[in-house]
Structure 1
Amino acid sequence: MVPAYSLALTVAVTAPLLAPGYLLLRDAVSTPRSYLTDAALGLTEAAPRALPQDFFVAVASHVVDGGLVVKVLLVAGLWLAGWGAATLADAVVPAAGMAGQFVAATLAVWNPYVAERLLQGHWSLLVGYGCLPWVAAAVLRLRASGERRSGWPVLFWVALAGLTPTGLMLAATVALACCLTTGEGRSRRWCAAVSLGSAVLGALPWLVAPAVSGSLASSQAAGVTEFAARAEPGLGTLGSLAGLGGIWNGQAVPPTRTTLFALVATAVLLAVVALGVATVARRPGGRPLLVLAAVAVVAPALMAAGPGLAAVDAVVRTVPGLGVLRDAQKWVALAMPGYAVAGAAAVVTLARRVPRGATATVCCLALIAVLPDLAWGVSGRMTPVRYPAGWSTAAALINADPRPVAVLPQMSMRQFSWAGRAPVLDPLPRWLSAEVLTTGDLNIGGRTVPGEGARARDVERLVLSGAGREELADAGVGWVVVEGGGPRLSLPVAYADDDVAVYRIGGDRPSAPYRGVAVAAHLVWLIALLVGATGTVAAAMTAGRRRSAVH
């Protein structure tokens, strides 16, 4: 029943996405088809933030429509979050029973973190988020049983979470924290070795790509202040984070979190969690999760204060590859396994006074009631869109002769009349088999946070200065695309309508070296994922046969 309940919650959130169309919302970009470009393999100037998800979607979209791939993965991520939280609760506080599992599932799916990351378009991060309770349960099982097959689930869930670098880092942190619990099975060192080994295999795509492309040489220190966690009304930064909210982008927030009602909602969530903390603290498997939850709330709050901002800035400038630390609020995901288990334990704490079913019902309804706008695509703000016909024509034209593409207007985010009110990342880099020159520049609160695309910035200046075809071709530009009905250029027109204009230039540039190395690193991740999945299924079947034999 719990998997079905988790799926029902997930559908209540993502129902609009079941309609035809493509997810196109801020950082979430899906297109009919993607390709194994240099960017998809991380072989560009930009830091490899979307590996190996771009590789996976590119491969999968050759078989299934790319829009469907992204929607299925997003739905699966949220479903896994609820089901996994219930599974973890059963492992840590089995006395909570099914009633407690329902509370854990509700808390994992229905919370501000999920709402805000959906609105920000972080679908792949939510896949990693959904893997966290499964990672915790797998490591705790390895510590407790020590069975030889118990290591396969750790490999699978860590690799799946590794669809994005942040997801991999979250999963590895949860795994290592759970290694510290007491147990009679495998030793802490063995569990840590399995966890770290799985993490390294999962991280190979984004460890190898910058090493061979040199993208780690670029700093991501700009924007540390802009990406810091944000205080919600009446809560302050620490209170917002404790309530699983506080994303840096105030536009990617459900309406109920923009008023003092956020205070009530946070109080309800924390009350559900607080009821079970003492019970969980008495369970060996629960203590590491509670400590991790506390750190996951306090650390981002400190990172948003003056000294914390200075420290993050210094770290990112010293080690450019750690620009992933800028968005501090996303690390609050680490609190979810502990929160979910504590929520489940609430029914145990009150069992002597209140029937378990009644406690679970009240807790689940309360969690949903204080965040009503998560339902139906966060109040309809997350709906699929359809691309204008001209975009398909333009993509087919360039894909027939894939040369480097310069795109206007400037900045990475776009505002399209046909894609809703929210800005979106340019879809073109994922729709073309050609290299698309992007600066990565972002406008946040009227301030431009520069990206790492120095070459794209130079080409942009050339185009805006009115450079002719020969000068642009010499700069390695094959095509110029103007999106959103922008100004017409004095260049040879290959296609134009009200939505997009394509200019044929004819320049070219060789592909990045080491493509074979980058592809090999991605294949290692994919093999680890498939081997882990096979081992997990085999372990589950063995456990099922043993239970049948006992009964």
Structure 2
Amino acid sequence: MLARFGPAVLGLACGVLALGPALGPGFALRYDMVFVPDPPVRLPGGFPRAVPSDQVVALLSAVVPAEIVQKAILLGLFTLAASGAAALARDALPGGGIVPRLAAAAFYAWNAYLAQRLLIGQWALLLGYAGLPWAVRAAAGGRAGRLTVALLPAAVGGFQAMLVSALTVLPVAALRGGGGGARAVLSSVLRGGAVVGVLSLPWLVPALGSDAAADPAAVAAFAPRADGPFGTLGSLLALGGIWNSHAVVPGQEMPALATARLVLAAAAVAGFVRLGVVPARPAWWPGLAAAACAGVLVACAGAFAPGVPRALIGWWAGFGPLRDGQVYVAPFALAQAAGVAVVAAALRRSMPAPVAAAAVAVPMLALPTFALGAFGRLGTAEYPEEWRRVQAVVNGDPAPGALLSLPWSAYRAFPWNGGRVVLDPATKMFSRPVVWNDALVVGTGGGRRIRVAAESPRARRIGALLAGPAAVPLTGALKREGVRYVLAGGVDENTFLSRLPGATPVYRGPELLLIRL
């Protein structure tokens, strides 16, 4: 029982411990992690970042309350990641016993990459991260059916999850052991590429038809940064380095903890390299090694050679996903998890069993403040009733037209959410298109700020209208942009309505004002 279910139970325990207060009543809302009550199923606008993840959540929420769906997904991430890493360790060390498998499971379900991406709210990306071990095993086996099933979590996650998976799966398919010559390699790559391509269609088709633009300035804004005393490269090697300092685990920069993580990373890399030189190395080792190196190089490019991704994005907006290079460290995290299993197996052979078993706890001891919702950075909140009322009014109107969400800022810090910064919930609540300001201003330290232009042409046009003289009426211009409703929070009603002659306020609440044009 322990050998079969132990890694999954350990992953679930890691999830409960890491999420902590985020498992309480209500929704966990932080940065890009936005779940809303009764989410509608609707087609995306602009670049399809939340496709098909939003649609899947909406379908599940029609059966189970949305807040339960969120908690199940978050706990499932940890469980799937841990059990997959343990299965990969079993491939690497068939007779290694349960300790190496549990060590790999603990490392993959409790590290800086997972913690930082969770704290920035990228749960959809983490679906791909959680399924990555299973996808690697399936790609190494060369069976398209198994690979399709293994990639389903990434397919639900959407573009970032699938790009990270493709970076890992295709080298594994190309370099898997067994020989067969160039024709067999090509056939394996084509099968893997076909599976990846088909599962990417839900986001790839709208992306190719989107008029969204990518700003090369985003490379500097989202480049990896140091989150400890060992610089950017040291942070990346220890699986950290996210660009947003508010997504860093509390106390992560402490020298003792940073040193422990870097030593653990070095030992894991050494274990992974050792795994590659044994005669019976697993079939997935060469491909995973190549993917790990490629992912680290992509991350380093943003920090140390930003001209390369800037030039690529300037040439074609399709290279826009390269701007957040630290995302692609995921296969390196999986390689380290396999290396940790090798180290744990060596400890098991040379030390008493209790000492070797203690290796399972090392990842948690190296990042202890990830526990309890990163010491309170994750929590829950209930939407005020006025949000539900506005949602009912707008979604109950059959007339076409978009909703314009104000104030003109993508992220908000609501008092009812404990002051935690979160993407505007209006982007998820309504069955009609929502126009919002997808431009970003990112501070880089020393008072310097980088402005990343909006991707949506309509958002850029409406932003210019809102920035115009206060005496200029907006009603006609907004109607020409296809806007039917304006949802405004925290504005002076009389002053704002003076810019919308002929408009009708249809709801007034303590926080929200809904206006129909």
- TM-score, with structure 2 as normaliser: 0.89
Give the residue type in structure 2 aligned to 1:376: L
Offset at residue 222 of structure 1 (A): 2.8
Write out per-residue CA displacement over residues 472-507 of structure 1, whole angstroms, 9 at most, x where no aligned residue: 434432111112x222222532111221111121xx
The 2-side partners of 1:194 and 1:208 are apart by 20
CA contact (8 A) 2:31 2:421 kept: yes
Structure 1 unpaired stretches of 5+? 143-149, 506-551
CA contact (8 A) 1:96 1:347 kept: no
Give the residue type in structure 2 aligned to 1:35: P
CA contact (8 A) 1:21 1:384 kept: yes
Match for 1:160 among 148, 153, 156?
153
Q: 1:358 to 1:407 in 2, by over 3 A?
A: same
Give the residue type in structure 1 aligned to 2:31: R
Offset at residue 182 of structure 1 (A): 1.1
Offset at residue 379 of structure 1 (A): 1.3
CA contact (8 A) 2:301 2:309 kept: no
The 2-side partners of 1:4 and 1:132 are apart by 19
The 2-side partners of 1:230 and 1:29 are apart by 25
Q: Equivalent residue for 1:288?
A: 287
Q: Equivalent residue for 1:365?
A: 361
Q: 1:357 to 1:294 in 2, by over 3 A?
A: farther
Q: Equivalent residue for 1:533?
A: none
Give the secondary structure class of the aligned counterpart of 1:51.
coil
Offset at residue 356 of structure 1 (A): 5.1
Q: Equivalent residue for 1:452?
A: 455
The 1-side partners of 2:475 and 2:273 are apart by 71
Offset at residue 376 of structure 1 (A): 1.4
Choose 177-186 or 69-78, whichever is displaced more: 177-186
Give the secondary structure class of the aligned counterpart of 2:247.
coil
Write out per-residue CA displacement over residues 344-363 of structure 1, whole angstroms, 9 at most, x where no aligned residue: 011333344214552231x2
Q: Equivalent residue for 1:171?
A: 165
The 2-side partners of 1:375 and 1:348 are apart by 27
The 2-side partners of 1:459 and 1:303 are apart by 31
CA contact (8 A) 1:437 1:456 kept: yes
CA contact (8 A) 2:227 2:248 kept: no
Give the residue type in structure 1 aligned to 2:417: A
Match for 2:317 among 317, 320, 328?
320
Q: 1:118 to 1:319 in 2, by over 3 A?
A: same
Q: Equivalent residue for 2:446?
A: none
The 1-side partners of 2:22 and 2:224 are apart by 28
The 2-side partners of 1:271 and 1:452 are apart by 39
- Indicate whether 1:204 and 2:209 are aligned: no
The 2-side partners of 1:287 and 1:210 are apart by 32
- TM-score, with structure 1 as normaliser: 0.83
The 2-side partners of 1:468 and 1:455 are apart by 15
The 1-side partners of 2:453 and 2:273 are apart by 47
The 2-side partners of 1:93 and 1:433 are apart by 51
Write out per-residue CA displacement over residues 214-263 of structure 1, whole angstroms, 9 at most, x where no aligned residue: 44xx2332311010000123211111000000001111101222332343
Match for 1:443 among 441, 444, 449?
441
Q: 1:270 to 1:456 in 2, by over 3 A?
A: closer
Q: 1:357 to 1:290 in 2, by over 3 A?
A: farther
Q: Equivalent residue for 1:233?
A: 228
- Indicate whether 1:270 and 2:265 are aligned: yes
Q: Equivalent residue for 1:190?
A: 187
Match for 2:40 among 35, 39, 42?
35
Q: 1:323 to 1:274 in 2, by over 3 A?
A: closer
Offset at residue 404 of structure 1 (A): 1.3
Q: Equivalent residue for 1:69?
A: 69
Q: Equivalent residue for 1:522?
A: none
Give the secondary structure class of the aligned counterpart of 1:35.
coil
The 2-side partners of 1:356 and 1:293 are apart by 31
CA contact (8 A) 1:428 1:436 kept: yes
Q: 1:463 to 1:295 in 2, by over 3 A?
A: closer
Give the residue type in structure 1 aligned to 2:289: L
The 1-side partners of 2:86 and 2:481 are apart by 56
The 2-side partners of 1:368 and 1:299 are apart by 27
- Indicate whether 1:96 and 2:88 are aligned: no
CA contact (8 A) 1:406 1:477 kept: yes
Structure 2 unpaired stretches of 5+? 1-5, 444-448, 498-502
Choose 97-106 or 347-356, whichever is displaced more: 347-356
Give the secondary structure class of the aligned counterpart of 1:480.
strand
- Indicate whether 1:486 and 2:491 are aligned: yes
Q: Equivalent residue for 1:122?
A: 122
Query: Where do 1:16-55 residues align within 5 Å?
Result: 16-39=21-44, 44=45, 46-55=46-55
CA contact (8 A) 2:458 2:481 kept: no
The 2-side partners of 1:192 and 1:93 are apart by 26
Give the secondary structure class of the aligned counterpart of 2:221.
coil
Q: Equivalent residue for 1:476?
A: 482
Offset at residue 278 of structure 1 (A): 4.5
Give the residue type in structure 2 aligned to 1:99: V
Give the residue type in structure 2 aligned to 1:249: N
CA contact (8 A) 1:78 1:127 kept: no
Give the secondary structure class of the aligned counterpart of 1:448.
strand
CA contact (8 A) 1:439 1:454 kept: no
The 2-side partners of 1:114 and 1:468 are apart by 44
Give the secondary structure class of the aligned counterpart of 1:95.
coil
Offset at residue 304 of structure 1 (A): 0.8
CA contact (8 A) 1:408 1:481 kept: yes
Give the residue type in structure 1 aligned to 2:360: C
Choose 3-12 or 382-391, whichever is displaced more: 3-12
Offset at residue 318 of structure 1 (A): 0.9
Q: Equivalent residue for 2:411?
A: 413
The 2-side partners of 1:468 and 1:100 are apart by 64
Write out per-residue CA displacement over residues 160-199 of structure 1, whole angstroms, 9 at most, x where no aligned residue: 2122211111212222222212127994333322211110
- Indicate whether 1:342 and 2:339 are aligned: yes
Q: Equivalent residue for 2:3?
A: none
Give the residue type in structure 1 aligned to 2:39: S
* Root-mean-square deviation over aligned CA pairs: 2.2
The 1-side partners of 2:81 and 2:55 are apart by 23
Q: 1:395 to 1:425 in 2, by over 3 A?
A: same
Offset at residue 105 of structure 1 (A): 0.4
Offset at residue 95 of structure 1 (A): 3.0
Give the secondary structure class of the aligned counterpart of 1:481.
strand
Give the secondary structure class of the aligned counterpart of 1:167.
helix
CA contact (8 A) 2:271 2:342 kept: yes
Q: Equivalent residue for 1:131?
A: 131
- Indicate whether 1:4 and 2:23 are aligned: no
CA contact (8 A) 2:441 2:452 kept: yes
Offset at residue 296 of structure 1 (A): 2.6
Give the residue type in structure 2 aligned to 1:96: G
Give the residue type in structure 2 aligned to 1:5: L
Q: 1:472 to 1:315 in 2, by over 3 A?
A: closer
Give the residue type in structure 2 aligned to 1:440: D
The 2-side partners of 1:414 and 1:494 are apart by 23
Offset at residue 103 of structure 1 (A): 0.5
Choose 330-339 or 295-304, whichever is displaced more: 295-304
Choose 373-382 or 67-76, whichever is displaced more: 67-76
Q: 1:232 to 1:18 in 2, by over 3 A?
A: closer
CA contact (8 A) 1:77 1:128 kept: no
Give the secondary structure class of the aligned counterpart of 1:424.
strand
CA contact (8 A) 2:35 2:67 kept: yes
Offset at residue 323 of structure 1 (A): 0.6
The 1-side partners of 2:271 and 2:464 are apart by 59
Offset at residue 328 of structure 1 (A): 0.6
